[in-house]
Amino acid sequence: MSIKKVIIIGAGLGGLAAAIRLREKNYQVVVYDTSHTVGGKTKSISQDGFTWGFGASLLTLPHYIDELFLLCNKNPKDYYSYKKLDPVCKYFFSDSTTLETHASKEKLLEEFHYKLNEPKKNIENYLDNIDTIFKHTEHIFLRASLQKWATYFNLKTLKSIFNLWKIGLFNTMFQKNSKRFLNEKTIQLFNRYATYNGSNPYRTPATMNVIAAPEYLQGGFIMEKGMPQVSQAIYKLALEEGIEFVFDTKVDEIFISNNKATGVKINNKIIDADIVVSNVDVHFTYHHLLPNTKKPEHILNQERSTSAIIFYWGMSKVFDKLDVHNIMFSENYAQEFAHIEKGEVYADATIYIFISSKTISGHAPQGMENWFALVNIPHNTGQDWKTQVDICRKQMQSKISKHLGEDIAPYIISEYVNSPETIERDTLSFAGSLYGPSSNNKMSAFMRHPNFSNDIKNLYFAGGSVHPGGGVPLCLMSGKIVADLVE
């Protein structure tokens, strides 16, 4: 019996995970990418002696990465290592209050009680709740296709369905957390997790509190060489497993014959395949790779997630007041999201600063730091991003300087910038949205594009724009779901 061939378009984490898992099922796998390397949004940027990750920074659920290597009977420690962070993140509030979240539950409870006078019981109840949500949703929402009836006909899933009332599907994140906590700062801190999938805590269902579960229940981690090490390690494994990669190559079209994907077209040449997997944004896939195919407009026209303006700053000084992960909150969180809803950048936007050089040597010259400074903003609808970047730069520098008690501008000796326009150009993410569709609707999880085509046989989808969503763990799971569906 001949070995079936799979072509994967895009070497992001979803595509890499699908490649490994399909190769282990004895498929011949070829991966095409327009870039010169793997990684997608986990690639690195280097300039003037500084190195930054393009996107994702906090690592959760690292055992999802380990799974790929164990599947191939390899020891993950031979390819990469990661360590648990403590503290995980440092928070700065507008009234100069600071707070650190810790890996230790006891230290975490004490920090909230001491800094914010939040009763320890409130935090314990929150942790219990997100643990419950995670246990009832992981096997359905992260590890299986929501669009296949078989997902629902097993005892574990039926048990979860009967416990839907526990997962907060019928309240917003803000509503749930407002009733749970006494201090407004505690509410704001835990509402922040809506931004992990580009959503609005005042609209997204309270189920999305589950986003915080891996971080608080299992820990936040950092790769010893930075997030790009994830894709590079998987790439090395893929090569060892016999997967072929073709870089600097643009796939022009997915070739369809009799409602079946039978290959791809590159430079007017058809390359045959039994299975095609698209690991590029689903919107781009339909509008560019499937030009003659009916498009699922009800899915493609969903509300987009937020985007970001990111300054990659090389700093000529080490700032002791900052940790690896830092959040500087806006004074009025509701107003910040109201501006985003209107397509505007808020003047007092919450700032996230990630400094990998705090723990990773070589990411900045001696005595210096690499800052990844981000604000959440609307996706691209035609705004003047050049002007917005200039305004945002001044606002962010002013806000950060106020919290640190000194002007940071003189210390910025290198700068690289990403905005919705450049994110869309470099990652093909429609409108520069970081996570594809938003999750502002209680049915959002079910409305994401499935990992397979309903109309075209042998066509599958992986990556952050389809089920189960964006971020490192979810993209890896999209590859697992694709491989399971193909099987």
Indicate the domain borders of the chain.
5-42+60-83+224-303+440-486
Grade residue 165 by pLDDT with cuts at 50, 70 and 90.
very low
- Give me the residues paired with residue 18 across strands: none
Q: Judge whether residue 407 has pLDDT over 90.
A: yes
Query: Could you tell me the pTM of the whole model?
Result: 0.94
Cα four-point dihedral sign 477, 479, 485, 487: negative
Q: For residue 478, which amino acid is it?
A: S
Q: Are 146 and 86 contacting, i.e. CB atoms less than 8 angstroms apart? A: no
Cα four-point dihedral sign 418, 423, 425, 426: positive
Grade residue 62 by pLDDT with cuts at 50, 70 and 90.
very high
Q: Judge whether residue 65 has pLDDT over 60.
A: yes
- pLDDT tens readout for residues 12-49: 999 999 999 999 999 999 999 999 999 999 999 999 99
Structure token pair of residue 304: 């987009």
5-42+60-83+224-303+440-486 has CATH 3.50.50.60 classification: yes
Cβ-in-10-Å burial (0-12, 13-18, 19+) of 285 comes to buried
Measuring CA to CA, which residue among 450, 447, 451, 419 is closest to residue 433? 419
Mean of pLDDT values over 419-438: 93
Structure token pair of residue 11: 């070497």
Measuring CA to CA, which residue among 251, 254, 284 is closest to residue 456? 254
The residue written with tokens 């990992």 in the block is 451
**What is the signed CA dihedral for 252, 258, 260, 264, rounded to 10 degrees?**
-20
Helix (H) or strand (E) holding 394, with range, is helix 385-404
Helix (H) or strand (E) holding 84, with range, is strand 82-84
Mean of pLDDT values over 271-283: 97
Distance of alpha carbon 349 from alpha carbon 334, whole angstroms: 11
- pLDDT tens readout for residues 100-122: 999 999 999 999 999 999 999 99
- pLDDT tens readout for residues 293-313: 999 888 888 899 999 999 999
Q: What 3-state class would DSSP assign to 95? A: coil
Q: Are 399 and 328 contacting, i.e. CB atoms less than 8 angstroms apart? A: yes
- pLDDT tens readout for residues 324-378: 999 999 999 999 999 999 999 999 999 999 999 999 999 999 999 999 999 999 9
Q: Specify the pLDDT at position 49.
A: 97
Q: Judge whether residue 157 has pLDDT over 60.
A: no
**How many whole angstroms from its chain centre is CA 464?**
7
Structure token pair of residue 458: 């042998």
Look at the chain and count its residues.
Answer: 487
Q: For residue 99, which amino acid is it?
A: L
